[in-house]
Chains A and B, each alone.
Chain A
Amino acid sequence: MEPEVVEAELVLPSYLSFKKVQMYEKYPKGQSRGRHWKHLKQIIQAENYQNYPPEEPNYVNIESPPSMHPCKKICDITGFEAPYYDPRTNLRYANTEVFKIIRSLPNEYVQRYLALRNAQVVLK
């Protein structure tokens, strides 16, 4: 290792005296251990919140509800107020100049703009 890397102690040492179980003991090298953690969704599912009274706050039921206000429509390209919608690309746009732009955009960019609001076409 380069001296400046060593001096900055950039790399976490593999042995630390204050640990009762070292990393290499817990996760030995060379053994395929697969995925040893659960996704958040799996964690929530394992919590079985449906077995608890609904008035008791938990991770799931403290989530905010959907908004009561109508969603403000903004132009996907410029961010201006968007009164129009292009049925071909599904993009919202503010005026004719933006319309010209979106009609000249390659599909990849259209999809990336749509992906910003999770409205892109997903091929399954």
Chain B
Amino acid sequence: MPFISKINRQSDYNLFRSATPLVIDNGASYFRIGWAGEDDPRVIFRNIVQRPRHKTTGETVTIVGDHDPALLKYFDCTRSGPRSAFDSNVVYQFEIMEYILDFGFDRMGANGSEIDHPVLITECVCNPVQSRSKMGELLFETYGVPSIAFGVDAAFSYKYNQLQGICDRDGLAMCPGFTTTHVIPFIDGEPMYKGCCRTNVGGYHVTNYLKQLLSLKYPYHMGRFTWEKVEDLKMEHCYIAQDYISEAKLFQRGTKEAEEKTRLWQLPWVPPPTEEPPSEEEIARKAAIKEKLGQRLREMAEAKRSSKINELENELHGLEFLLNQLEQVAESDIPSFLAETGYVSRQEIESARNRTTQSLRKAKGEPKSEQTETEKADSSNNEKYSLVNVADEMLTPEQLIEKKKQLSIKSMSEGRMRLKQKRQEAELERERKQQLEEEKRLENPELYLEQLHAKYKDLSEKVDQRKRLKTNGGHTNGNNLSGGVGRGERLNAAQRERMRLLTTAAFDRGKGEDTFGAKDEDWQLYKLMSRDNDDDDEGPDEDDAELARISSRLQDLDPTFVPKLETSTSQTAEVPRARPLTKEDFQIVFGVERFRCPEILFNPNWVAVDQVGLDEMAGVSMRRLSYKDESLESRLTSSILLTGGSSLFPGIIERLEAGIRMIRPCGSPIKIVRALDPVMDAWRGASAYASGPQFHTQTFSKMDYYEKGEDWLRSYQLKYSL
């Protein structure tokens, strides 16, 4: 908002005689106070009060009007926002009003014991008497004002412009203000309140509408849209469309004209630092560091390994030494000899030695000498399984147990051998196959590659289909990508079939004759029901392995080959990647909003105010006058004055003319003019009025106020033409 407040303290208060009236334009948005007869008010400020707490001292203070926001940083304004004494142009909170008057008089330089000047103060049309009397009481009792006059701001503005020859004695004053819009007909220079009408829509609503729309459109920048900023934007960019719908169509079609009318507000935006690709040196340096680290790790691993080998070798030596010693020791001395070493028997030491040798071999990275092992096993087989071939009858019970043990060990080792053999055979087979393929490839590389590709395609399709079948059942409806999770999508085909069987079994009972069990196949049902579905995994496994093999082979042979991605991973909802914020993300675009917001003056029901708009108000006003006088109505429409802050929107006059032309008979004269200064003229008119010689006849004193009573105050009305 342009900082239009004037709040400097005036120093010449005492130079004015006590008969000079003080003129106050008490508007819902701005408070203006000055001396009668002057051209401009002395003090202007927003008609708001804040009561924040001082951050350091913690005391609640009163701040009236708008100030440099930089100074408000010392105060905690979060608890209470700016408050207004107005509701729909009627003053209803007189405590706030008193703060405002305090501030206004103080800045005028008042320093006596009371305000010893008559006061002319504006109010809304047909102000409720309670508000008027409270205002009178406040001025008389608290400030000691000698006399008061109440007038209507729009009327003062009209009279002022009439004096300047802008409009005639008969005419309409249309005043879209801050919270309300008034239309007042004037006849013979006097406002006719019975022809008045008021719609509760004004600049406040326009700003609020714009603020809401912008913060809904740009939720990320909501904090930017402060009241003051939006008010600023409204005053700078909003205009009234000649015809809303056709103007909106321009924007909907995205025409060039609309593009030109679109305004951009670039919020402060700093481009993120662009990362430069690292230089050669940098890369080399990094590689060197990496290499060095790797070297160190390798060395560490090597050292660890050699120390382990050392350790194991020492252990082995110790054990061998022990065994040697043991051979020299007499049989009977063994237990006492072993007690020192911690081993119980010779076998234990031997097995420990075997273990150590094995781990030593492993540590040294030598392959397990299976051959020797098996040979050893073979050689020792006879003594190992000594009891196996002996008949049971010849054995003692202990030996029987031993035999059982040996039997089981033998069968296990035999099984292992068989498995090993099988594996070897499979390997041989694979090698053979590979050789075959290699031969094929060498014979005709192109054909081979083609075949491989075809095979890959076939297989991958097969695997895919099986996967789909498994997750989606028989009928793929094609929208398993949409992510709808119904019963069908959650169960696989087999589970679903099982569910179906269960439900039919549960609910088919009692339906006609029960023939279950008559046929043998019926009993198969239970098998199907009880079966869990881990039986269909073998097939795909094989195929998967084959697929992996082919794809790896293809990757080896064909550099252009790209293996298809797992379909299941691509099916999971694609997560939108966080993209870096660009300049465009910090742009606030005003397109339709530019004329959509002020349009509520003409269509108040867009903001849920079910009343006529500005253009229709003229017709309502003339209808209410009910003079049925064509010539008077023509005179009224040929002198329409637009005043009030919201009449500043560009295009409002043309739009209003078009609107009024629609409700007037064909050929009626229509002339609409904007006031010289729609914002300031009300105060100027009031100032001129209060400086007139007859002003004192229109005021009333404290005595009048208390003697004449409320009924008189209700019908009190200023006579504007003196």
Contacts and interface: CB of A to CB of B under 8 A. Distances in A.
Interface of A: 1-2, 4-5, 8-13, 16-21, 23, 26-27, 36-40, 43-44, 46-47, 55-59, 62-69, 71-72, 74, 78-81, 94-95, 109, 112-113, 115-119
8 contacts: A12-B64, A20-B114, A20-B144, A37-B93, A47-B128, A47-B129, A74-B596, A116-B212
Given A43-B92, A57-B196, A16 B106 contact: yes
Contact of A62 (B54, B125, B248, B252): B125
Interface in B22-73: 54, 57, 61-64, 67-68, 71
A62 B200 CA distance: 11
Interface SS of chain A: helix, strand, loop or mixed?
loop
A22 to B, nearest CB: 9
Nearest to B614: A64
Given A18-B113, A94-B252, A117-B606, A79 B64 contact: no
A63 B127 contact: no
Interface in B191-219: 193-194, 196-200, 209, 212-213, 216, 219
A72 to B, nearest CB: 6
Given A17-B112, A21-B142, A72-B603, A79 B593 contact: yes
Interface stretch (B94-102, B265-273, B346-354, B432-440): B94-102
A64 B94 contact: no
A1 to B, nearest CB: 7
Given A19-B142, A112-B216, A44 B62 contact: no
A79 B141 contact: no
Interface string B78-93: 0000000001101011
B592 A5 contact: no
Contacts of B244: 72, 74
B68 A8 contact: yes
Contacts of A119: 608
A64 B111 contact: no
B128 to A, nearest CB: 5
Contacts of A37: 92-95
Contacts of B611: 63-67
A89 B95 CA distance: 43
A39 to B, nearest CB: 7
Contact of A39 (B57, B87, B251): B87
A80 B249 contact: yes
Contacts, number: 179
B115 interface: yes
Interface of B: 9, 54, 57, 61-64, 67-68, 71, 74, 87-88, 90, 92-95, 98-99, 102-103, 105-106, 110-115, 124-131, 141-144, 193-194, 196-200, 209, 212-213, 216, 219, 244-245, 248-249, 251-252, 592-593, 596, 603-608, 610-613, 616-617, 620
A-B pairs with lowest CB-CB distance, top 4:
A118-B608, A79-B592, A79-B596, A40-B87
A13 B105 CA distance: 12
B519 to A, nearest CB: 52
A67 B612 CA distance: 4
Contacts of B68: 8
A67 B92 CA distance: 29
Contact of A117 (B125, B200, B248, B607): B607
A16 B128 CA distance: 30
Nearest to A36: B95
Given A2-B74, A20-B144, A81-B249, A10 B126 contact: no
Contacts of A44: 128
Given A36-B95, A112-B212, 20 more contacts: A8-B71, A9-B9, A10-B63, A10-B71, A12-B61, A12-B102, A17-B111, A18-B106, A18-B110, A26-B142, A38-B92, A40-B88, A47-B128, A64-B199, A66-B611, A67-B613, A74-B606, A95-B252, A109-B216, A117-B607
A56 to B, nearest CB: 8
Contacts of A80: 248-249, 251-252, 592
A18 B143 contact: yes
A93 to B, nearest CB: 12
Contacts of A118: 607-608
Contacts of B113: 17-18, 20
Contacts of B9: 9
Contact of A16 (B74, B102, B127): B102
Contacts of B219: 109
A40 B134 CA distance: 13
Contacts of A16: 102, 105-106, 110
A79 B600 CA distance: 12
A74 B114 CA distance: 56
A59 B128 contact: yes
Given A47-B130, A72-B244, A12 B87 contact: no
A2 B596 CA distance: 44
Given A12-B103, A18-B112, A37-B95, A66 B612 contact: yes
B64 A20 contact: no
Contacts of B115: 18
Contacts of A69: 616
Contacts of A4: 71
Contacts of B93: 37
A59 B611 CA distance: 15
A62 B130 contact: no
Contacts of B592: 78-80
Given A1-B54, A113-B216, A68 B616 contact: yes
A81 B659 CA distance: 19
Nearest to B594: A79
Contacts of B88: 40
Nearest to B127: A59
A55 B197 CA distance: 13
Contacts of A57: 126, 193-194, 196
Contacts of B141: 20-21
A63 B198 contact: yes
Contacts of B198: 62-64
Given A37-B93, A39-B92, A62 B216 contact: no
B249 A18 contact: no
A23 B194 contact: no
A74 B102 contact: no
Contacts of A27: 95
B126 A58 contact: yes
B92 A79 contact: no
Contacts of A94: 252
A79 B95 CA distance: 41
Contacts of A56: 194
A11 B63 contact: yes
A21 B115 CA distance: 12
Contacts of A59: 90, 124, 126-128
